[in-house]
Amino acid sequence: MSSPSHVADTPITDLSQLVEYSAAGARPRADWRIGTEHEKFGFRTDDLHPPAFDGERGIEALLRGLTRFGWEPVEENGRTIALLRDGASVTLEPAGQLELSGAALETIHQTCVEVGTHLKEVRTVADELQLGFLGMGFQPKWRRDQMPWMPKGRYQIMKSYMPKVGQLGLDMMTRTCTVQVNLDYGSEADMVKKFRVSLALQPIATALFADSPFVEGQPNGYLSYRSHIWTDTDADRTGMLDFVFEDGFGFERYVDYLLDVPMYFSYRDGIYHDASGQSFRDFLKGKLPALPGALPTLRDWSDHMTTAFPEVRMKKFLEMRGADGGPWNRLCALPAFWVGLLYDDAALDAAWDLVKDFTREERHALRDGVPRQALKLPFRGATVRELAIEALKIAQAGLRRRAIHNAQGADESGFLDALVEIADAGQTAAERKLALFHGAWGGSVDPVFREFAY
């Protein structure tokens, strides 16, 4: 989850400023970049418990240890809660899940180097603290009440509000991890097409990346329990955004949607003011109960944009939000999948042809069905597996046409190999872990912390 925005405190005097904020993200193709983010669960190697924030082996100690690699600390109330370096950041999710928000890079080769460097740095410090890190979509062992809370103001507000609007919001905050990629658009029309394609295909990414089959040490009946959790978190700010597929969709319509998303907070003078459930429209009129008479700034708007959690989210770029966290090769595979589909014109056209006749009911059936069945979900006389294979072929062709090679002469399509193998086998990472649980692991999830740690 995002930290306070660094957008200027420009007063909002007209709704057109909100539309222009996202419209200003449009940039020429030569300037399109790739920003990859991933989260991971920390655990103490001796007892597998998640580390607290405080203490010699805590998350803050890990963050401070990482400063030896040139990361600059970010403090809140005198505590180190994030790190910055060269356009990237290391931040904390509510229960201490460690997130790398990568820099805006030109190639997936660079992204994979960035991820690999980060994991090596984390491993160096974590080994000294007897900590490990695991990439999965959901915490496989510990109960919600056994998860720590990080000392970040926005999380305390969300912690109080979540139970009012859904049953699983606190699980989303404390026990999930994801990998996502942020991609650019060239114009409003380009944004619309990319938004529609990525929203329709987001369930395919969920299926390919499904890796959250356990809750509190036992199978939970899902392959992506992380994805299921979003269906009972907060209906006001989640979902498939049917209006994206309606005629006339554009920046202005997305602003209308966000204005109807209830607020969480306003960050002023280093303080999070609790505005949970209140209206940004009232804020624009100076009638926000949390800050009577105050008017919002573009920084307030930028912060508010981060509190909507649809399957695809727009800020000044598009965020693909459908995938479970996972191992190193899948962290590189997610940007490869979406760059291959969206950054090549022929691939984008082919991807649109694949999904343009999906009905609203079919899009929702995919979204609702893949958390349980993943690639085996029936769809149009076949299964999601066949749809995934076709999407991967389109992405591979798009990456090959990009023809961006590393020093060894390999193009970016090789980063899809991990997903191609899953689709060809028809077996997700979740299903493989379930087989181990029922076989070699003898009904215990404990081995996952050893066999799948970074």
Task: Tell me the sheet residues that pair with 138.
Answer: 176
- The answer as to whether 168 is a domain residue is yes
Identify the pLDDT of residue 6. Answer: 67
The pLDDT assigned to 7 comes to 79
Q: How far apart are CA 416 and CA 24, in angstroms?
A: 31
- Roughly how many angstroms between the first and final C-alpha of the chain, as a whole number? 22
The verdict on residue 356 lying in a domain is: yes
Q: Is residue 161 within 8 Å of residue 277, measured between CB atoms?
A: yes
Q: Return the percentage of the chain with pLDDT > 70, whole number.
A: 99
Q: What CATH number should be reported for the domain holding residue 317?
A: 3.30.590.20
Q: Is residue 162 part of a domain?
A: yes
Report the residue count for the chain.
454
Tell me if the pTM is above 0.85.
yes
Among 3-17, 172-186, 286-300, 302-316, name the one with the lowest average pLDDT: 3-17
What is the C-alpha separation between 122 and 118, in angstroms, rounded?
A: 6
Residue 450 domain flag: no
pLDDT score of 430 more than 60:
yes
Picking from 181, 121, 118, 175, the residue whose alpha carbon sits closest to that of residue 342 is: 181
Which DSSP symbol is given to 311? S
**Which one, of 305, 307, 310, 350, lies nearest residue 197 by Cα?**
350
Q: Is residue 108 part of a domain?
A: yes
The residue segments making up the domain with residue 83 are 28-261+308-439
CA–CA distance, 295 with 201 (Å, rounded to integer): 38
Q: Check if the beta carbon of residue 123 is closer than 8 Å to that of residue 135.
A: no
Average pLDDT over residues 153-182: 97
Measuring CA to CA, which residue among 148, 245, 206 is closest to residue 377?
Answer: 206
User: Is the pLDDT score of 2 beyond 60?
Assistant: no
Q: Does residue 296 form part of some domain?
A: no
pLDDT for the residue 3: 52
Residues paired with residue 132 on neighbouring β-strands, in sequence order: 43
pLDDT at 65: 98
Neighbours of 324 (CB within 10 A): 30
Residue 276 lies in a domain: no
Residue-level pLDDT at 290 = 97
Q: What is the DSSP letter of 69?
A: G
pLDDT digits (tens, 9 = 90+) for 261-271: 999 999 998 89
330, 422 contact by CB (below 8 A):
no
Is the model's pLDDT at 4 over the cut of 60?
Answer: no
- Quote the pLDDT of residue 5: 58
Average pLDDT over the chain, rounded to whole?
97
Radius of gyration for the alpha carbons in the chain, expressed in angstroms and rounded: 21
pLDDT at residue 269, as a whole number: 87
Q: Is residue 303 included in any domain, yes or no? A: no
pLDDT at site 8: 77
Helices (H) and strands (E) in the chain, counts: 17, 17
Q: What does the alpha-carbon distance between residue 341 and residue 198 come to, in Å, rounded to a whole number? A: 9
Average the pLDDT over 436-453 and give the result.
98
Give the chain's domain count. 1
Q: Does the structure show a pLDDT above 70 at 128? A: yes
Helix, strand, coil proportions of the chain in percent (round to 5)? 45, 20, 35
Q: Are strands 309-310 and 238-239 parallel, antiparallel or unpaired?
A: parallel
Per-residue pLDDT at 169:
98
